[in-house]
């Protein structure tokens, strides 16, 4: 057990640990892509230790062991590394929502660049690349969408928050002091927690619910997923004065408006989009705008060119490119996002509903292709289509360095990597967005 600053408590846990029972001293030399510190046990096995930083000397308790690696828990911090800081969140020792609060922000940014470079070299085998990481404008209070899990426990108790560090089946109760949501969402979350009543009786029945708060033009909006029955959304809204609306999505059904403002409007850059409560847009609006600017710059002048925007989401980038004179085919399969992209679509924008695997071959050839897939990366069929009809410019936006590296290896025979950069859309976590710019080979 550790304290809120990521260091072990001086109480019972440390008293037991100080006896040395079952502990091993480890020097932490690096960070793994998931944010754990990396060291070596006396046996020679690599060990991963959450909440440790490069330069730390720690005593750890091994909790899981495999043939070539082990995972351990920090018990005693004997000597802190030079970039370790005191995490400001009092729940950091237990909550799995963040992984890097114990590391100075400048160090977080530098290590995220190494995560990307190491993945490209070791997983993709596509060579060494210097990766510049663009820091987020704000290291805290940046999330415009937050998803909490609520669980009803015996005796009328309710816990609502994030999964516990090292024990994902358990939840850590998170109140309105969480440091990642915007101030408006923090305030709304505190009000909702106070408004749902004893045993969360005003929410739909059921042991577990998913609660998503989203900050949009109308104000904070609550989406309640799962459970049985409608609950009392009107009373939730009345008890949470900063909340603009409540939406419900029962098991297996679509999201329906339940109370408050009937519309949800996202404003990003110069665009206003009518979206559904679950339509995906990046949670860090300021950092996402910088990333989109970089994509547009990488594409160069698009007037008169044909561009495919694969995994287009609500069509924010596609609209911008069409307004600049491009003919854009935006491919998207999520119905709410398709509706948002179609609403008042500018001239030159065609929305192709369906999976990228199905739609991309028919959209090629193109002068440029933008890929922004989910964490799983692109399917083999997508890589095959890109190899069969190469576009002069290919821009790949990735949220997972490992799958990006795999996909760049798939494309290496057809495309050359021009540049790789990264954008920190998720400070305090191990996640990083990567922008890879490729050109088709002329030989």
Rounded to 10 degrees, the C-alpha dihedral 198/204/209/213 comes to -90
Active site residues: 399
Q: Where are the domains of the chain?
A: 12-84, 110-137+280-440, 145-267
pLDDT digits (tens, 9 = 90+) for 58-83: 999 999 999 999 999 999 999 999 99
pLDDT of residue 270: 75
DSSP 170-231: EEEE--TT-SSB-HHHHHHHHHHHHHS-GGGTTSPBSSEEEEEEEEETTEEEEEEESSBS--
pLDDT digits (tens, 9 = 90+) for 96-149: 999 999 999 999 999 999 999 999 999 999 988 989 999 999 999 999 999 999
Closest by Cα among 41, 39, 63 to 52: 39
Domain 145-267 has CATH 3.40.50.300: no
Positive or negative, the Cα torsion across 274, 275, 280, 282?
Answer: positive
Domain 12-84 has CATH 2.40.50.140: yes
pTM for the model: 0.92
Task: Please state which CATH class domain 110-137+280-440 belongs to.
Answer: alpha beta
Share of the chain above pLDDT 90, in %: 88
Domains 110-137+280-440 and 145-267 belong to one CATH topology: no
pLDDT of residue 6: 38
pLDDT digits (tens, 9 = 90+) for 10-23: 344 444 444 567 89
């Amino acid at each position: 057990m550790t304290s809120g600053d990521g260091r072990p408590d001086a109480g019972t846990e440390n008293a037991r640990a100080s006896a040395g029972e079952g502990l091993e001293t480890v020097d932490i030399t690096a960070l793994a892509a998931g944010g754990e510190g990396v060291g070596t046990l006396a046996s020679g096995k690599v060990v991963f230790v959450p909440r440790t930083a490069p330069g730390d000397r720690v005593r750890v308790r091994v909790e899981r062991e495999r043939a070539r690696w082990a995972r351990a828990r920090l018990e005693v911090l004997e000597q802190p590394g030079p970039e370790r800081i005191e995490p400001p969140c009092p729940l950091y020792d237990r909550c799995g929502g963040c992984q890097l609060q114990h590391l100075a922000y400048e160090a977080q940014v530098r290590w995220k660049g190494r995560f990307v470079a190491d993945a490209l070299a070791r997983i993709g085998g596509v060579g060494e690349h210097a990766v510049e990481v663009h820091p987020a404008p704000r290291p805290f209070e940046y999330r415009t969408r937050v998803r909490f899990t609520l669980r009803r426990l015996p005796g009328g108790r309710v816990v609502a928050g994030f999964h516990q560090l090292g024990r994902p089946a358990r939840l850590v109760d998170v109140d309105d002091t969480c440091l990642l949501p915007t101030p408006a969402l923090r305030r709304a979350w505190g009000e909702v927690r106070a408004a749902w009543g004893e045993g969360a009786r005003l929410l739909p029945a059921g042991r577990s619910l998913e609660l998503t708060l989203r900050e949009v033009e109308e104000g904070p909006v609550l989406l309640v997923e799962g459970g049985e029955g409608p609950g009392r959304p009107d009373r939730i809204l009345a008890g949470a004065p900063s909340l603009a609306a409540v939406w419900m999505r029962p098991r297996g059904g679509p999201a329906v408006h339940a109370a408050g403002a009937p519309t949800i409007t996202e404003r990003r850059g110069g665009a206003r989009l009518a979206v559904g409560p679950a339509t995906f847009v990046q949670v860090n609006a300021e950092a996402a705008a910088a990333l989109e600017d970089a994509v547009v710059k990488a594409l160069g002048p698009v007037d008169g060119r044909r561009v495919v925007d694969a995994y287009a989401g609500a069509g924010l980038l596609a609209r911008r490119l069409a307004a600049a004179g491009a003919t854009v085919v935006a491919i998207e399969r999520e119905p709410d996002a398709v509706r948002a992209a179609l609403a008042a679509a500018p001239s030159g924008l065609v929305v192709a509903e369906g999976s990228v695997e199905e739609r991309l071959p028919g959209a090629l050839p193109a002068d440029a292709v933008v890929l922004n897939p989910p964490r799983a990366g692109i399917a083999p069929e997508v890589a095959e289509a890109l190899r069969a009809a190469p576009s002069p410019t290919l821009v790949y936006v990735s949220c997972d360095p490992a799958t990006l590296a795999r996909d760049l290896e798939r494309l290496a025979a057809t495309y050359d990597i021009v540049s790789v950069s990264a954008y920190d859309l998720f400070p305090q976590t191990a996640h990083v967005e990567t922008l890879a710019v490729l050109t088709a080979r002329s030989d």
